[in-house]
């Protein structure tokens, strides 16, 4: 029968300790609630001795979380264990996780002890923690670089002392999958009481092998996986739990194991962690990256449209991603992708001339890089070259800023063949600019996202601004690059307004409507 892998999340401990700005209790609780909904079995939520704030957040979370086991970290020091137990005891059940370095390097240069003393300390601390709870986990810090004889000895001694979970961390991400699985196999072969504990692994990603090592450890018999959402954590991070969880699910042909995770919560939880921890997810990150379900090359796009399984081993829906997979419209796209988007927007094949559309598309894709569905729409139905050109241009921007008096923004915009000017006063600069542009163009948008990037070219700093706005239930994207941050924002907004106008003009033409701004 399929065995369960215990998912031990340490986003709020190992993950949190790597952040530049510590999370407050409120944010930690929000993450803990999301992790509970995701269905993690154990959540390590802090290191209570490390600070009064950590103590308090562990206490608050321990009180609130009912469906996951809450755990706190402690060194092999009586006072650490007392404090961890005090923070956790508001929960009905809790786990104390104690750790001690076991590699010669750490023992000699960090702890200044010998291995006999280490075993003695570990055994004492496990017994000491057992006075508070039956659920004690012991971690052999730097197990990846510990001699296998010493590792077997301390694992056997701490199980005998009462540890119910033994964690084998690759603290510095040094091992390789084959080597790491051999460590686990050897423990199973040589430790006499190994069946009295769950073997856990905790891998770091310094050589990019944390997930590979964790999966190899499962195949060697480990039954608890420690890690964090999005792989955040010390240095290069920890095992990305979402990757291990989906590997178990997608490759069920290889592993006779399962987890209790609610897979559809993965994407949402990942987003919450990224947002609250202020840790952006790389676009190409497995499972949760923005490109994880995007297809770019013409051959892939055509293959996807014929059968998703050609290039998709898991679906975005399976992890709760509602936007679905996407075909990037770039100069590498073929006609199949264009047809797909036109159909998605409600146009039949006979409604437009594919050859004309494809040629126009290639031209604009070369110029712009990425093309959006609304660009296709305007290209397909443009009756003249002018139809595809920009209508709005920035003529002048005047901003007066006073810390006490607020902000006055004036914009002069060239619209077709006339210039219009308007002004707005307010306390928020971006809002004021948005308001003036709305007044002049009569296009009412909701600003959804605005990203600023610094670019250095030939010792000159440029600011790239990406904006996303919503207009009549549809998203439009704008981009601009300027030496000045505000000019760049205004121009990226104008870029969006031009796209909206073109799209509306096409729609208006198609439906014989007249728009106000024409």
Residue whose CB is less far from Zn ion, 14 or 135: 14
Strands 224-227 vs 198-203: parallel, antiparallel or unpaired = parallel
Residue whose CB is less far from ligand KIV, 214 or 499: 214
* Overall size of the chain counted in residues: 518
Between CA 351 and CA 366 the distance in angstroms is 25
For residue 505, the 8-state DSSP code is: H
Nearest to 388 by CA among 360, 368, 407: 360
255 strand-pairing partners: none
Residue whose CB is less far from Zn ion, 14 or 377: 14
Residue whose CB is less far from ligand KIV, 143 or 319: 143
Q: Of ligand KIV, Zn ion, none, which one does residue 505 interact with (CB within 5 to 8 Å by kind)?
A: none
Shortest reach from residue 141's CB to Zn ion, in Å: 8
Residue whose CB is less far from Zn ion, 97 or 263: 97
For residue 307, the 8-state DSSP code is: -
For residue 12, the 8-state DSSP code is: I
Shortest reach from residue 204's CB to Zn ion, in Å: 6
Q: Of ligand KIV, Zn ion, none, which one does residue 141 interact with (CB within 5 to 8 Å by kind)?
A: ligand KIV
Residues contacting 265, CB < 8 A, separation 6+: 34, 37, 38, 39, 320
User: Are 125 and 117 a contacting pair, CB within 8 Å?
Assistant: no
Shortest reach from residue 228's CB to ligand KIV, in Å: 10
Q: Which three-class secondary structure state does DSSP give residue 72?
A: strand
Shortest reach from residue 357's CB to Zn ion, in Å: 53
Shortest reach from residue 192's CB to ligand KIV, in Å: 24
Between CA 382 and CA 359 the distance in angstroms is 13
Q: Of Zn ion, ligand KIV, none, which one does residue 139 interact with (CB within 5 to 8 Å by kind)?
A: ligand KIV
Residue 78 has phi, psi (to 5 degrees) of -55, -45
Query: What residue ranges bind ligand KIV (CB under 6 A)?
Result: 14, 99, 139, 141, 167, 169, 171, 202, 204
Q: How many C-beta atoms lie closer than 10 Å to residue 378's C-beta?
A: 22
Residue whose CB is less far from ligand KIV, 97 or 501: 97
Between CA 448 and CA 433 the distance in angstroms is 15
Backbone CA torsion sign across 99, 102, 104, 108: positive
Shortest reach from residue 25's CB to ligand KIV, in Å: 22
Q: Of Zn ion, ligand KIV, none, which one does residue 237 interact with (CB within 5 to 8 Å by kind)?
A: none
Residue whose CB is less far from ligand KIV, 99 or 392: 99
Selected range binding Zn ion among 10-18, 217-225, 428-436, 473-481, rule: CB under 5 A: 10-18
Residue whose CB is less far from Zn ion, 49 or 342: 49
Which tokens go with 408?
């006055």
Shortest reach from residue 255's CB to ligand KIV, in Å: 24
Shortest reach from residue 226's CB to ligand KIV, in Å: 7
Shortest reach from residue 224's CB to ligand KIV, in Å: 12
Which residue from 9, 14, 36, 435 is in contact with Zn ion, where contact means CB under 5 A? 14
Backbone CA torsion sign across 190, 195, 197, 202: positive
Write down the residue that tokens 């033994």 correspond to: 166
Residue whose CB is less far from Zn ion, 28 or 300: 28
Q: Of Zn ion, ligand KIV, none, which one does residue 125 interact with (CB within 5 to 8 Å by kind)?
A: none
Per-residue binder mask for Zn ion (CB under 5 A), 452-481, x = binder: ------------------------------
Q: Of Zn ion, ligand KIV, none, which one does residue 239 interact with (CB within 5 to 8 Å by kind)?
A: none
Q: Of Zn ion, ligand KIV, none, which one does residue 173 interact with (CB within 5 to 8 Å by kind)?
A: none
457 strand-pairing partners: 460
- 3-class DSSP string for 213-267: HHHHHHHCCCCEEEEEHHHCCCCCCECEHHHHHHHHHHCCCCCCEECCCCHHHHH
Where does this chain bind Zn ion (CB under 5 A)? Answer: 14
């Amino acid at each position: 029968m399929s065995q369960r892998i215990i998912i031990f999340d340490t986003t709020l401990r190992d993950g949190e300790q790597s952040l530049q700005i510590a999370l407050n209790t409120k944010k930690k609780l929000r993450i803990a609630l999301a992790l509970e909904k995701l269905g993690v079995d154990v959540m390590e939520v802090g290191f209570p001795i490390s600070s009064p704030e950590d103590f308090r957040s562990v206490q608050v979370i321990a009180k609130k979380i009912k469906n996951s086991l809450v755990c706190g970290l402690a060194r092999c020091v009586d006072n650490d264990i007392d404090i961890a137990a005090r923070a956790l005891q508001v929960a009905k059940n809790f786990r104390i996780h104690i750790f001690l370095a076991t590699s010669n390097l750490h023992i000699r240069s960090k702890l200044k002890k010998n291995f006999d003393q280490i075993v003695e300390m570990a055994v004492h601390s496990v017994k000491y923690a057992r006075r508070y709870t039956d659920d004690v986990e012991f971690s052999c810090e730097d197990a990846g670089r510990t001699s296998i004889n010493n590792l077997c000895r301390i694992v056997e001694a701490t199980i005998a002392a009462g540890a119910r979970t033994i964690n084998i961390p690759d603290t510095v991400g040094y091992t390789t999958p084959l080597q790491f699985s051999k460590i686990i196999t050897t423990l199973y072969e040589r430790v006499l009481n190994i069946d009295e504990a769950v073997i856990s692994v905790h891998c770091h990603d310094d050589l990019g092998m944390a997930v590979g090592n964790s999966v190899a450890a499962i195949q060697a018999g480990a039954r608890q996986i420690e890690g964090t959402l999005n792989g955040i954590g010390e240095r290069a991070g920890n095992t990305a739990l979402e990757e291990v969880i989906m590997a178990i699910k997608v490759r069920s042909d290889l592993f006779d194991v399962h987890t209790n995770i609610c897979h559809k919560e993965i994407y949402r939880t990942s987003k919450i962690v990224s947002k609250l921890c202020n840790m952006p997810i790389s676009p190409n990150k497995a499972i949760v990256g923005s490109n994880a379900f995007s297809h770019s090359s013409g051959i892939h796009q055509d293959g996807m449209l014929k059968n998703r399984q050609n290039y998709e081993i898991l679906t975005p829906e399976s992890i709760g991603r509602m936007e679905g997979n996407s075909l990037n419209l770039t100069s590498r796209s073929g006609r199949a992708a264009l047809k797909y988007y036109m159909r998605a927007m409600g146009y039949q094949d006979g409604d437009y001339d594919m050859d004309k559309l494809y040629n126009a598309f290639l031209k604009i894709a070369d110029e712009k890089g990425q093309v959006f569905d609304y660009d296709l729409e305007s290209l397909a139905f443009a009756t003249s070259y002018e139809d595809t050109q920009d209508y709005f241009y920035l003529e002048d921007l005047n901003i007066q800023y006073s810390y006490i008096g607020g902000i006055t923004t004036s914009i002069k915009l060239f619209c077709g063949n006339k210039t219009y000017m308007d002004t707005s006063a307010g306390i928020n600069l971006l809002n004021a600019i948005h308001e003036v542009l709305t007044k002049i163009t009569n296009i009412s948008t909701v600003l959804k996202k605005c990203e600023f990037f610094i670019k250095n070219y030939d010792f000159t700093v440029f600011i790239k601004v990406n904006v996303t706005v919503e207009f009549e239930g549809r998203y439009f994207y704008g981009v601009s690059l300027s030496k000045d941050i505000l000019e760049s924002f205004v121009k990226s907004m104008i870029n969006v307004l031009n796209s909206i106008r073109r799209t509306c003009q096409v729609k208006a033409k198609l439906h014989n409507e007249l728009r106000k701004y024409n």
